[in-house]
């Protein structure tokens, strides 16, 4: 018997459970598909008398152990089959294994099989019927957007509205603290029936209406640049050119005033003049969100899934161009 209570001849990949009529082995390594996890019983002489098993030649030992691995799942033998996982010098007492190497090889094989199953099943869906308007798609879509080009030091950011489950995606400078309400930026948001992508610009609250510093509307907010674009004939014409380069059947202006939402199909310069007139009538203590871009129906999103990402490329470029126009129009205070 060994000092740890195990009989000589018991492999390093097994535990002897004593007290039963027959000894049983339990493997210590992950299950390998196609290989039984019941190890062979140890030689009677080893269990009952403690005598060591007869010595074998190195070649015979490797052949015997390898064969037992295929038929019975002996973990030492499995490592022999994998080849590089360990080494054996032909004697029981001299067996030395790199356990981590053998385990890693088995785990890698299982991961490859799992990956093959996923590939056969097709890509994971991005859009779901449930909670579409709340942005259940945001995390999955962001994973696709990070593969697309965008200005240096910017990236798509997953956002959640405070005290709610509403989620959306917006592009922000990397490392920028806070929710960046003040920034004109490309964004993707949803309603009950549509997904919207475009340049997203906001007007915050006056200081007397909020205790959240990030919500206080002040001179740095790029909403000032947005209204300056609408008030300038030349800049308004430039904005029209960007919007006119989008698919006409998709182009729209989406406006939130508090909890009220309106979506207007974009036609021409008159659409921008009408928008400016509407904004001039909104009291200064109300939050405004405005998105200038395109929309996709919920049914399209559910049907196209990952294929929809290709159709987002051009609207994203236009959104960056509009954001740049707004930034350039910011007044100097």
pTM of the entire predicted model: 0.65
Phi, psi values for residue 133, rounded to 5°? -70, -20
Q: How far is CA 13 from CA 76, 83, 246, 248, 315, in A?
A: 6, 16, 65, 68, 59
Residues in the chain: 333
Number of H helices, E strands in the chain: 10, 11
- Helices assigned H by DSSP within 146-253: 223-231, 233-244
Q: What is the pLDDT of residue 187?
A: 98
Q: Tokens 């209406």 identify what position? A: 209
What average pLDDT does the chain have? 78
Query: If DSSP codes are grouped into helix, strand and coil, which group holds residue 17?
Result: strand
The DSSP bridge pattern shows strands 251-257 and 185-190 to be unpaired
**Cα angle 283-289-291, degrees, rounded to a multiple of 5:** 135
With residue 310 as reference, give the H or E element that holds it: helix 309-328
pLDDT over threshold 90, residue 57: no
pLDDT over threshold 50, residue 128: yes
**What pLDDT digit, counting tens, does each position of 281-331 carry?**
999 999 999 999 999 999 999 999 999 999 999 999 999 999 999 999 999
Instruction: Spell out the domain ranges in the chain.
Output: 16-121, 138-328
**What pLDDT digit, counting tens, does each position of 205-230 carry?**
999 999 999 999 999 999 999 999 99
Q: What is the pLDDT of residue 300?
A: 97
Q: What is the pLDDT of residue 135?
A: 96
Q: What is the pLDDT of residue 158?
A: 87
Q: What is the pLDDT of residue 259?
A: 83
**Nearest-angstrom CA–CA distance, 48 and 324:** 84
- In this structure, whether the domain defined by 138-328 belongs to CATH 3.30.930 is answered with yes
DSSP 205: B
């Amino acid at each position: 018997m060994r000092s740890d209570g195990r009989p000589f001849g018991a492999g390093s990949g097994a535990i002897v459970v004593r007290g039963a009529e027959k000894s049983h082995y339990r493997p210590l390594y992950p299950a390998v598909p196609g290989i039984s996890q019941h190890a062979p019983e140890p030689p009677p002489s080893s269990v009952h008398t403690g005598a060591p098993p007869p010595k074998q030649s190195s070649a015979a030992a490797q052949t015997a152990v390898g064969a037992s691995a295929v038929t019975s799942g002996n973990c030492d033998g499995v490592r022999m089959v994998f080849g590089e996982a360990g080494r054996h010098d032909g004697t029981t007492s001299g067996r030395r294994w790199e356990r981590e190497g053998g385990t890693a090889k088995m785990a890698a094989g299982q991961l490859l099989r799992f990956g093959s199953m996923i590939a056969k099943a097709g890509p994971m869906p991005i859009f779901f019927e449930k909670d579409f308007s709340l942005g259940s798609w945001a995390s999955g879509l962001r994973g696709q957007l990070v593969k697309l080009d965008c200005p240096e030091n910017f990236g798509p950011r997953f956002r959640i509205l405070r005290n709610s489950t509403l989620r959306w995606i917006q592009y922000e400078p990397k490392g920028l603290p806070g929710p960046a309400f003040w920034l004109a930026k490309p964004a993707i948001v949803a309603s009950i029936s549509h997904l919207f992508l475009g340049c997203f610009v906001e007007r915050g609250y006056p200081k007397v209406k909020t205790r959240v510093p990030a919500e206080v509307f002040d001179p740095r907010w790029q909403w000032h640049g947005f209204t300056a674009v609408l008030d300038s004939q030349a800049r308004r014409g430039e904005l029209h050119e960007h919007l006119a380069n989008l698919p006409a059947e998709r182009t729209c202006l989406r406006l939130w005033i508090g909890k009220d939402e309106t979506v207007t199909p974009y036609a021409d310069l008159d659409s921008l003049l009408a928008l400016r007139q509407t904004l001039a009538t909104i009291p200064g203590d109300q939050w405004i969100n405005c998105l200038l871009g395109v929309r996709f129906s919920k049914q399209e999103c559910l049907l196209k899934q990952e294929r929809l990402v290709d159709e987002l490329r051009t609207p994203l470029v236009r959104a960056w161009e509009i954001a740049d126009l707004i930034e350039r129009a910011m007044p100097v205070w």
